[in-house]
Amino acid sequence: MALRASNSIKLENARNLMAAVNFADVSGLKLNTTVNIHWSLVDGCSDPRKRQAGLIEKARHWLNHRKIPLTCVWVLEHATGKKLHSHMALHVPKGRGAEFKRQLVRWVGPSFPKALDVGRVNDRGWFNYMIKDVEPAFYGQLGIHPANRKGRSIQPIVGKRVGVSQNIGQAARDRWAAANSTKLEDSFLS
């Protein structure tokens, strides 16, 4: 089956990302680290999607070895003047940030300066930036500042453009809601 191209993040995908971020907080696995990768600046990167999937898998193994489940959300973008790049937010155990960053540098491999940027999540502004490729008509509904509109992707993205780890995905949230006799999303989505 051929991969489809999309020009924006669908509203339901943006809401799924938002609910996943909030559920990570409830689960005690708050997304505390951002990873931005400009794949065109990474040596030998002919397939950014495959490299991103490999990076997520390496992070999964690294975290599992430390008895921490991979907890992340990610988006792919193709913004004005840039090539395909990714934004991720994930949970890294307290005190392991520097070690994780060293591993990321090794996993990404040789690259030009500014290909890889790792930071800390300080507020929800990073999330609004991540989902800026949703249709601008939904910015108000999702609480996205209109200034984010200028960085929207202009090139279509072929294939999957957003993702969440299974432990904060819809099925995990539904299981939690059933076990706690509550509807999780109602208390978090605006």
pLDDT, tens digit (0-9, with 9 covering 90-100), for 139-179: 888 888 877 777 787 788 888 899 999 999 999 999 988 88
pLDDT confidence band for 188 (50 / 70 / 90): very low
- Residue closest to 188 by CA, chosen among 41, 59, 17: 17
User: Per DSSP, what are the bridge partners of residue 16?
Assistant: none
Q: Tell me what pLDDT residue 49 has.
A: 84
pLDDT, one tens digit per residue, over 30-45 is 999 999 999 888 888 7
3 state DSSP class of 24: helix
Q: Tell me what pLDDT residue 183 has.
A: 66
For the packed helices 170-179 and 11-26, what is the interaxial angle rounded to 10 degrees?
A: 50
Instruction: Please give the share of the chain, as a percent, with pLDDT higher than 70.
Output: 92
Runs of H (alpha helix) within 11-96: 11-26, 48-65
Instruction: Please give the share of the chain, as a percent, with pLDDT higher than 90.
Output: 49
Runs of H (alpha helix) within 27-47: none
Of 79-83, 117-121, 182-186, minimum mean pLDDT range: 182-186
User: Does residue 148 contact residue 134 with C-beta atoms inside 8 Å?
Assistant: no
Q: Tell me what pLDDT residue 113 has.
A: 79
If you count them, how many residues does the chain have? 190
pLDDT confidence band for 62 (50 / 70 / 90): very high
